[in-house]
Chains A and B, each alone.
Chain A
Amino acid sequence: MSFASLFRRSRPAYRSTARAPGPVERLAAIFQAVPAAPRLLLLPLAMALVLGGIVHLVSVLAMPRLAQASAYQRLAALAPSNRLVLLPETGDGVLPMTDPAFVSAVCRYDLRERPLKVRVPQTGDYTSVSFYTNRGLAFYALNDQAAGRVIELDLLSPAQRAALPEDEEITAADRLVVESPSTTGIVLIRAFARYGDVRDAVRKQLEAASCTATQ
């Protein structure tokens, strides 16, 4: 009954009918026309919808933080920090939706102490390296053709990047520096196996890739 009494009190504004009813009065009139029992439900229903919308937005935004089976967590069991590990051959691998035509290696990085050096050898075919934060945000990718030769780059946390001396010789083209928005994350190295039977050879070549903390 509480909701009905709330609206009864606001009725005096509606009584001054000298001018044409405004939008508020018209809405109130519609509200009055609804039978009493459903009218009691209108306010809770509207409240539930608005609150539900808020719950939805908050839970979507919190998902990367709360997820229990994100890529970073899945790889935690498989790969130690700052070490490159080749992913097992397909057949429901560790990561869903990976391209079966590629041989993949991962490196779970931790930049808290030292920057990371990533080196990917040429495999004679398409090879790429992509970087993800611990929450799964893709922030950088490079393929062999864009790199021009062997992919070799340094991964730095924002603090380490800021501490880098602004020496022109260091920032020269022979050194590729990538800044990671997070201190932990994933490096994914993928090499294309053109035909099924070159897969083992590509796998061998990819074993030469490395991901190590710099001294």
Chain B
Amino acid sequence: MRLVTLATTLAAAAAIGLGATYFAVTHSRGMDIVRLGAWQGWPRSGTTQADPYATAAFARTGELPLELADGLLFLADHDTAGAPLDGRCDIRISGPLPQSRLWTLTLTDDKGALVPNAAQRHGFTSAELVYEPDGSINVALSPRARAGNWLPTGARGRLQVALRLYDAPFSFASGAQDEGQLPRIVTERCP
């Protein structure tokens, strides 16, 4: 009886521990999460102070994290209202961008793979985009062709948008943040 209890306890402990680890490395990119509206950033994951969860997640996926001295990565898989980004919907990313030497906006599926499309268009760089008169950005994600800055979503289910700011000031990574610093993501219309 005692042996059975012990064996069950140890098995449960292993299941709890390994299950939590699996969940952590598949769902997290580190503990130092910075939330700005719909966007999430992990400024310390690309430094020597990366926490064990970040290093474990990157070891599993084989990703080389963007170094903070190089740039800063922000990911969004939900819109500003909190709904998941759906490739069948019309989604608009609009608003100002913080100061940086250059930036890129990349559209991927929820696994981080580029969305295949005939136009070979996977995102915009700061040099390619047509800006609004006030200098802010306005990008449309849609399965159908749209006027202006359009990114085809291929009618895929879940999407993820990566915003990379290169040579951005460090104060932005750590200091005071408010949501208005990064563009809003709004789901406009769903079929």
Among B5, B24, B63, B167, the residue within 8 A (CB) of A60 is B24
A96 vs B60: C-alpha distance when bound (angstroms): 11
| Known A44-B9, A90-B114, A138-B46: A52·B63 in contact at CB below 8 Å | no
Among A48, A61, A101, A132, the residue within 8 A (CB) of B125 is A101
B61 and A99 contact, CB distance less than 8 A: no
- How many A-B pairs have beta carbons closer than 8 Å: the answer is 176
Please name all residues of chain B whose beta carbon is closer than 8 Å to the beta carbon of A36 when the two chains form the complex: none
Interface size class of B (residues with CB under 8 A): 35 or more
A52 vs B162: C-alpha distance when bound (angstroms): 34
Q: Is B149 an interface residue (CB 8 A)?
A: no
For chain B, residues 70 to 110, give those with C-beta under 8 angstroms from any C-beta of chain A. 70, 101-102, 104, 106
- 1/0 contact string of A45-57 vs chain B (CB within 8 Å): 0011111111110
Stretch at the interface among B50-58, B139-147, B180-188: B50-58
Stretch at the interface among A27-35, A160-168, A191-199: A191-199
| Known A64-B55, A100-B122: A48·B13 in contact at CB below 8 Å | yes
Stretch at the interface among B15-23, B33-41, B130-138, B150-158: B15-23
Among A55, A99, A139, the residue within 8 A (CB) of B16 is A55
A136 vs B15: C-alpha distance when bound (angstroms): 27
- Considering only CB atoms, which chain A residue lies closest to B121 in the complex? A196
Q: Is B190 an interface residue (CB 8 A)?
A: no
Among A1, A47, A74, A140, the residue within 8 A (CB) of B9 is A47
Q: Is A69 an interface residue (CB 8 A)?
A: yes
Please name all residues of chain B whose beta carbon is closer than 8 Å to the beta carbon of A98 when the two chains form the complex: 64
For chain A, residues 1 to 58, give those with C-beta under 8 angstroms from any C-beta of chain B. 1-2, 44, 47-56, 58
Please name all residues of chain B whose beta carbon is closer than 8 Å to the beta carbon of A145 when the two chains form the complex: 101, 167
Among A1, A59, A194, the residue within 8 A (CB) of B21 is A59
For chain A, residues 59 to 106, give those with C-beta under 8 angstroms from any C-beta of chain B. 59-61, 63-64, 67, 69-71, 73-74, 90-92, 95-101
Q: Is B118 an interface residue (CB 8 A)?
A: no
A51 vs B157: C-alpha distance when bound (angstroms): 39
A99 and B164 contact, CB distance less than 8 A: yes
| Known A71-B62, A96-B112, A137-B55: A54·B17 in contact at CB below 8 Å | yes
A interface residues (Cβ-Cβ under 8 A, vs B): 1-2, 44, 47-56, 58-61, 63-64, 67, 69-71, 73-74, 90-92, 95-101, 126, 128, 130, 132, 135-143, 145-146, 181, 186, 188, 190, 192, 194-196
- A and B contact pairs by CB, cutoff 8 A, 7 listed: A52-B13, A52-B15, A55-B18, A100-B114, A138-B46, A141-B67, A194-B128
